[in-house]
Amino acid sequence: MRAFGFAGWSGSGKTTLVERLIPQLRAKGLVVSLVKHAHHEFDIDQA
């Protein structure tokens, strides 16, 4: 398993980058998981 991390200032485009990157990785046949760290309240997807 390989893990990658993205860090940066708020509004710098981290989420946008990951949202565009994940479909490309999946299209290449890779299994992709995501863990998003948030220092404020968040909801957990039930999917």
Rounded to whole angstroms, the Cα distance separating 11 from 24 reads 22
pTM, two decimal places: 0.67
Quote the pLDDT of residue 42: 66
* Two tokens, residue 6: 């993205």
Question: Which residue intervals of the chain are DSSP H helices?
Answer: 14-27
Could you state, in chain order, the average pLDDT of each consecutive group of 10 residues for the chain (47 residues)?
A: 88 94 96 81 73
User: What pLDDT score does 29 carry?
Assistant: 97
pLDDT of residue 34: 86
| Distance between CA atoms of residues 3 and 7, nearest Å | 13
